[in-house]
Amino acid sequence: MGMRYAQHGGDFDVEDPGGVIRRAMRMGRRLRWPALGALLATVAATAARLLGPLAVRSGIDDGIAQGDKGMITRAALVFLALLAIQYLFAVISRYSVAWVGEQFLLDMRDRVFSHLMRLDVAFYSRSKTGVLVSRMTSDIESLQEFASDAAAMALANVLTVVGVAVAMVLVDWRLALVVFALISVLVALSVLFQRQSSKAYSQVRERIGLVLGALQEGISGVRVVQAFTQESRQAGEFGRVNEDYYEANMAAARAITWYFPAVAFIRVVSIAAVLLFGGLRVIDDNMTFGTLVVFLLYLDWFFQPIINLANVYNLAQAAIAALAKLFSVLDEQPAIAERPGAYDLESPVRGGVRFEDVSFGYDPHSPVLRNVDLAIPPGQRLAVVGETGAGKSTIAKLILRFYDPDEGAVAIGGSDLRDVTKASLNRAVALIPQDGFLFNGTLRENLKYARPDATDQEVWDVLRAMGVDGWIRDLEDQLDTEVRERGSRFSAGERQLVALARAFLADPEVIVLDEATSNLDPETEVHVEGALRVLLADRTSIVIAHRLRSAQRSDRIVMVDDGELVADGSHEELFEKSAAYRRLVEVWERGLV
């Protein structure tokens, strides 16, 4: 016999398992009738199985003992009929339980992913991507492992244990007491085993993660390892982690080593006890031989479900832990929420962007921006410059309302961003990051991402206006070209051109660029900059500039230093009047930034 356990989900402290289960039941309320149907089918299958030995007893006592061939035939037919009923309802039960479980998981995956898409940037800043992905993979896998097999097994075995106990009492309560006394020992051993195995398998799950981490680090950094001839050292570090994993598995093996032989021993002792006490009563005519046979059948059915429940205990524990983790994600609330009564920004937006005495810090005790006053007229191209960590990107994040200011207000078209709807803000303001992110799919799907109702003609008109339609027409499949994951089929410049065209098609009034050309080679930069001129014409734009050329191309430049605006003007004006700006330009020209 072996022990089944989950490889994920169980290394999480669940303070209130009952509360987790109750919440899951509330969440799956729509599945209550299919779940009830699955329960009834399981009850029917269990009842048919438990009635089988009674047909055997009738065949022995009223057929064989009395020499009645007709009774033997009838008992055999009844037994076969009960087997057929048991098989039918067992199939229905297992399918129904699996269907209910998969439907629950379907809802859970949709709900968690939709919730993740609504959470704000602050949540993602403090959360590890790998942990979030594991919620949708390893934790769901733990639930799926339980739902697909263990749930049906657990339900059937719980009903079998209860049903067999009741049947034993009804058949012969004296012999049932003998069996229950031995079963109580088995239950005590099972509780002890579960405590020991839970701790052991928790260590197994924890240490397999360390093994995989060490393996990934070693393979990813193999060039560095070999460059510094540290192969032996790296192998030694992996060996130590691997040794810890081995010890955890051996602790689990030791628990299995004593438990299952003990179960087999108690089972044999129970059979011997039933044969002894039952056989003596048969000889004394206090029990029929058929009843003794029935009891022996029930006895075997009593032990196996208890062993099965021990086998699925860890799966159930891991499933509850996985549920708790998923619920912890669903309990996360966005820090940036739409106020009651929020209104849509007017379209087109009349008026530019304004910062009114804005102060902000990711940590309230460490401000990143202090008392920023900034007005950006409609149609102006503003470059925000400064050293790394000065607060440039924070200005962009506030315009996009990834965060709200701690003090003051950020307004577009005269409307405080905290008072407008998220949908209208997203229509009015577009972000173009350094790396144009493309989704797996076709070029058409990526270009229409912000405007799914756009026609192909409108897409081609945008591409033509930006001067990039020729490149796409040269592709074999043109708009139907598969971009592959993260746009890996295209170069960085081509991805950026698609991202710019996507923004152009969305037609926002305000565009925030996080230096859209900083990662490109000079030749590609010329093409992208040409497309940018078309895109930014007559639009308000804020460019987070990391290079001198980007600043010089702008209508106006503001310099941020240690969270404050220290200079404002054209490139020529700032170079003449601001020593801090001149130093920054010198750094740029030396190619240090």
Look at residue 488 and tell me whether its pLDDT is greater than 70.
no
Give the 3-state secondary structure of 192-208.
HHHHHHHHHHHHHHHHH
Token pair belonging to 277: 């006490």
Structural domain includes residue 344: no
Structural domain includes residue 502: yes
Look at residue 10 and tell me whether its pLDDT is greater than 50.
no
Do 256 and 384 lie in one domain? The reply is no
Do 131 and 243 lie in one domain? The reply is yes
Structural domain includes residue 337: no
Do 154 and 185 lie in one domain? The reply is yes
Question: Quick one: DSSP state of residue 515?
Answer: -
Provide the sign of the torsion angle of the four alpha carbons 111, 114, 117, 120, taken in this order: negative
Q: How confident is the model at residue 316 (pLDDT cuts 50, 70, 90)?
A: confident
CB contact at 8 A, 411 and 443: no
Residue 263 is predicted with a pLDDT of 80
Structural domain includes residue 7: no
Do 326 and 418 lie in one domain? The reply is no
Which whole number is the average pLDDT over 314-341? 78
Q: How confident is the model at residue 85 (pLDDT cuts 50, 70, 90)?
A: very high
C-alpha to C-alpha distance for 48 and 228, rounded to whole angstroms: 70
> Please, what is the average pLDDT of the chain?
78
Lowest mean pLDDT among 28-32, 269-273, 572-576: 572-576
Structural domain includes residue 165: yes
Which whole number is the average pLDDT over 150-178? 82
Q: Which strands, in side-by-side order, build the sheet including 407-412?
A: 369-376, 353-360, 407-412, 415-416
Q: How confident is the model at residue 522 (pLDDT cuts 50, 70, 90)?
A: low
Of 319, 332, 310, 334, nearest in space to 24 by CA: 319
Half-sphere exposure of 520 (CA within 13 A, CB side): 24
Residue 387: CATH number of its domain:
3.40.50.300
Residue 410: phi and psi, rounded to 5, are -110, 130
Do 310 and 408 lie in one domain? The reply is no
With 0-12 / 13-18 / 19 or more C-beta atoms within 10 angstroms meaning exposed / middle / buried, residue 66 is exposed
Q: How confident is the model at residue 341 (pLDDT cuts 50, 70, 90)?
A: confident
Do 493 and 372 lie in one domain? The reply is yes
Do 85 and 140 lie in one domain? The reply is yes
Residue 84 is predicted with a pLDDT of 92
Start-to-end Cα distance in the chain: 65
The string of pLDDT tens digits covering residues 32-83 is 888 888 889 988 988 888 888 888 888 888 888 787 888 888 888 988 998 9
Q: Which of 262, 295, 330 is the last residue of a domain?
A: 330
Do 296 and 381 lie in one domain? The reply is no
Do 119 and 43 lie in one domain? The reply is yes
Which whole number is the average pLDDT over 355-383? 83
Per the structure, the count of domains in the chain is 2
For 320, residues 6+ apart whose C-beta sits below 8 A from its C-beta are: 14, 17, 20, 21
Pairing mode, strands 564-569 and 556-561: antiparallel
Look at residue 1 and tell me whether its pLDDT is greater than 50.
no
How many CB atoms are closer than 10 A to CB 170?
10
Do 309 and 368 lie in one domain? The reply is no
Residue 256 is predicted with a pLDDT of 76
Kindly state the greatest CA–CA separation across the chain: 120
Structural domain includes residue 345: no
Percent of the chain residues past pLDDT 90, beyond the cut: 1
Residue 9 is predicted with a pLDDT of 45
Residue where the block lists tokens 């709900």: 111
Look at residue 516 and tell me whether its pLDDT is greater than 70.
no
CB contact at 8 A, 456 and 408: no
How many CB atoms are closer than 10 A to CB 87?
13
Between 387 and 53, the more confident residue is: 53
CB contact at 8 A, 197 and 190: no
Residue 5 is predicted with a pLDDT of 46
Q: Which of 299, 330, 361 is the last residue of a domain?
A: 330
CB contact at 8 A, 200 and 252: yes
Measure the CA dihedral 440/444/445/446, to 10°: 70
Structural domain includes residue 339: no
Q: Which of 273, 297, 330 is the last residue of a domain?
A: 330
Which whole number is the average pLDDT over 500-528? 69
Look at residue 525 and tell me whether its pLDDT is greater than 70.
no
Which whole number is the average pLDDT over 291-305? 81
The string of pLDDT tens digits covering residues 119-152 is 777 777 666 666 677 677 777 777 777 777 677 7
C-alpha to C-alpha distance for 12 and 209, rounded to whole angstroms: 14
Lowest mean pLDDT among 220-224, 266-270, 286-290: 220-224
Q: Which strands, in side-by-side order, build the sheet including 381-385?
A: 429-432, 510-513, 540-544, 381-385, 556-561, 564-569
Look at residue 436 and tell me whether its pLDDT is greater than 70.
no
Between 100 and 432, the more confident residue is: 100
Residue 110: CATH number of its domain:
1.20.1560.10
C-alpha to C-alpha distance for 107 and 390, rounded to whole angstroms: 44
Look at residue 215 and tell me whether its pLDDT is greater than 50.
yes
Do 483 and 533 lie in one domain? The reply is yes
Of 168, 207, 191, nearest in space to 299 by CA: 168
Look at residue 210 and tell me whether its pLDDT is greater than 50.
yes
For 517, residues 6+ apart whose C-beta sits below 8 A from its C-beta are: 496, 525, 528, 529, 532, 547, 549, 550
Structural domain includes residue 231: yes
With 0-12 / 13-18 / 19 or more C-beta atoms within 10 angstroms meaning exposed / middle / buried, residue 128 is exposed
Which whole number is the average pLDDT over 397-418? 84
Residue 244 is predicted with a pLDDT of 81
C-alpha to C-alpha distance for 450 and 432, rounded to whole angstroms: 13
Residue 280: phi and psi, rounded to 5, are -60, -40
Do 80 and 190 lie in one domain? The reply is yes
Structural domain harbouring 542: 353-589
